[in-house]
Amino acid sequence: MKKIQMVDLKGQYEGIKNNVDVSIAEVLDSSAFINGPQVHAFQNELEAYLNVEHVIPCANGTDALQICMMGLGLQPGDEVITADFTFAATVEVIALLNLTPVLVDVEPDTFNIDPKAIEKAITPKTKAIVPVHLFGQCANMDAIIELADKHGLYVIEDNAQAIGATHTFKDGKKQKAGTIGHVASTSFFPSKNLGCYGDGGAIFTNDGDLAHTIRGMVNHGMYKRYHHDVIGVNSRLDSIQAAVLRAKLPNLDVYNEKRRNAARKYSMAFKDNPDIIVPKTVNGCNGICDTCDCHVFHQYTLRILNGKRDDLVQHLNDQNVPCGVYYPIPLHKQKAYVDDRYNEADFPITNQLVKEVISLPMHTELDDEQIEFITKTIIDFVNN
């Protein structure tokens, strides 16, 4: 059996090596390293893939989320509601802009932000909701859009983990993750489902005026060289990273289906174990259905019951099986974001999840022998 890795970027590269190498060579030959033809071509191709009017590439996913908020004109003191159970970048940019983060609990099955908790947290100062499409599937966008419309709020999708996922609305309409709210951000960090070979990110919107504002913001506020019309930042996707992403984008749906197939095999192996809760899809399927397009499994995350999670992590490490705990500490308990406004009683699900979740190796190169070894190792341990 080949070595098990949490993410096998080298194996994936070997499958597209020629396309990647040719694309990078084109950049080197042109010497157009910033805002070159590869960047513009990738932007156009991603717009077509997502069926969204505007894609604005930028330097990384954290910048993307911050620039979304800047573009919407949010002001210091404005409240922004987001999930307590996610990576710190989501709340970090809110705080950096002197906005007021409002953290709320998540749903136990999908790990995504709970619309009921959002509604409870809305005040006259609330200006935006940031649903994080965690681990590879959309939050409950039907309910979130309804709340936003009711209260006149912006919806900023944090789509760093769910590119390629599809949300099916109650009326049967389908839209790609990141194209539903007023604006969205994504990350092209190497381990993402669509990852480059460095840092990279992008912003999506169907609002032409907002897109125009953001295009200036990512480039020092310039639309014409040395004419600074808005306050901006230096956040551009470089041409080499765009070249890598262009080589990968045509394979994204195939990559995501490979992840779903691996997830199905994991879930099948664990399905009858009372101490293991497998991931649930937002559509409420019993398992991962054959036509599933709602989840792209950026992470495959289990809940391990009966207090066995930490010992399982150690056991997997001892067996050379990588794993991750995403996330071990709720944001409302992180030193940087502690606030007297928060009541522990408002976070029962997040406080439980941080004790139970464990993410298994998930990537396009997983094979059946590795999956069988991983699942057997976990089941044998949990059953002892």
pLDDT score for 163: 98
pLDDT score for 293: 87
Q: Please name which of 306, 345, 313 lies closest in space to residue 328, comparing C-alpha atoms.
A: 313
pLDDT score for 181: 98
Q: Please name which of 135, 110, 240, 253 lies closest in space to residue 194, comparing C-alpha atoms.
A: 253
Please name the residue that has the structure tokens 């030959």. 29
Q: For residues 309, 315, 321 and 325, what is the CA-based torsion angle, rounded to 10 degrees? A: 30
Please name the residue that has the structure tokens 């937002």. 282
Cα distance between residue 321 and residue 327, in whole Å: 19
Task: Please indicate, yes or no, whether the overall pTM of this predicted structure exceeds 0.95.
Answer: yes
pLDDT score for 292: 78
**Other CB atoms within 10 Å distance of the CB of residue 307:** 10
pLDDT score for 286: 55
Q: Say if residues 45 and 246 touch (Cβ distance below 8 Å).
A: yes
Question: Percentages helix, strand, coil for the chain, rounded to the nearest 5?
Answer: 40, 15, 40
pLDDT score for 384: 87
Average pLDDT per 10 consecutive residues for the chain, totaling 384 residues: 96 97 97 96 98 98 98 98 98 98 97 98 98 97 98 98 95 96 98 98 98 98 96 97 98 97 96 94 68 91 96 98 98 97 97 98 97 98 93
Question: What is the per-residue DSSP string for 316-356?
Answer: HHHTT---B-S-SS-GGGSGGG--TT--GGG-HHHHHHHHH
pLDDT score for 288: 72
Report the interhelical angle of 89-96 vs 61-71 (nearest 10°): 40
pLDDT score for 67: 98
